[in-house]
Copies of this chain bind each other. A is one copy, B any other.
Amino acid sequence: MRDFSLSTAALALNTATLGHNMPGAGAGWSAEQTLDACAQRGIGGIVFWRPEIGTRAAQIGQYAQQVGVKVVGLCRAPFLTGPLSFQDSGKIKDDFRKSIDETSLLGADVLTIVVGGVEAGTKGVHESLKYVTERVADVLDYAASNGVRLALEPLHPMYGGDRSCLTTTRDALDICDALASAWLGVAIDVYHVWWDTDLPRQLRRAQGRIFGFHLCDWLAHTTDFLLDRGMMGDGVADIKSLRACVESAGYDGFCEVEVFSAQNWWKRDPADVLDIMVERFRTVC
């Protein structure tokens, strides 16, 4: 297992950790200012969200390269199913390709897929997962031709209804097995999987197919479905054990800190948040 106590080269900031800190909101940092703040702290990588990038993907990607911060990935493809999707397979396909284009222009390797919830008119997750499989299959060649790897992210089962009918690493790997492409893998997020005692077994199956590893913590008394994640060390997830499993499965990439936290971390000075994130990465991850 890698020793993170002395180096933050493998640490990546998911900009969600700084909340809606974009021009006109929060501390008002531009993508470039965020990149500078990462570079100053030796944070090796960054993951952006599409609204922060807009039409400036190539420009931001170039700036990241200049300051020596790797753009690890982009969040995220459109919902493929469920009530929050475009609910129009043509629109979904177009936006899916657009998100692949943006990932490529940024110089990032990985596009994260949050699949979407239960498809209208169906019950349970079975049929929705079939749609997900079909819609991912549709874009695999396009992703490959753009050099973009797709990471299916199983979300916590509390999102099963509206955000992700894909709730376990097991289900995500079943889709990977079905589509058998080197361009399709999984993203493992501590927040979504910490409770799953089947995870060690599934991660052994995942050998070579883990395209992302996301850090945060699960607060014992969490109060919000979306915006109450904990910083590493503040919750009950066994982060070190999870990382050991992920690394045993061959993962040697970035560890991406993604803390949605409207009432705590997003209210703080983003410079302080980054400093604490670095310290926690070195000590509790």
Contact = CB atoms under 8 A, between A and B. Distances in A.
Copies of this polypeptide in the complex: 2
B220 A195 contact: no
Contacts of A129: 197
A241 B117 CA distance: 19
A132 B82 CA distance: 37
Contacts of A124: 194, 236-238, 241
A271 interface: no
Interface string A156-167: 111011100101
Contact of A238 (B83, B126, B171): B126
B123 A238 contact: yes
A158 B161 contact: no
Nearest to A157: B195
Interface in A174-226: 194-198, 218-223, 225
A123 B219 CA distance: 11
Nearest to A174: B197
A219 B158 CA distance: 10
Given A123-B237, A123-B238, A220-B117, A170 B157 contact: no
A79 B253 CA distance: 40
A125 interface: yes
Nearest to A220: B161
A198 to B, nearest CB: 7
Interface in A42-79: none
Interface string A138-166: 00000000000000000011101110010
Interface in A3-17: none
Given A123-B238, A237-B124, A238-B123, A222 B161 contact: yes
A104 interface: no
Interface centre among A117, A118, A126, by most B CB within 10 Å?
A: A118
Given A156-B158, A238-B123, A170 B195 contact: no
15 contacts: A83-B221, A123-B237, A123-B239, A123-B240, A125-B197, A126-B238, A156-B157, A157-B196, A158-B222, A160-B194, A160-B218, A161-B219, A161-B222, A222-B225, A223-B225
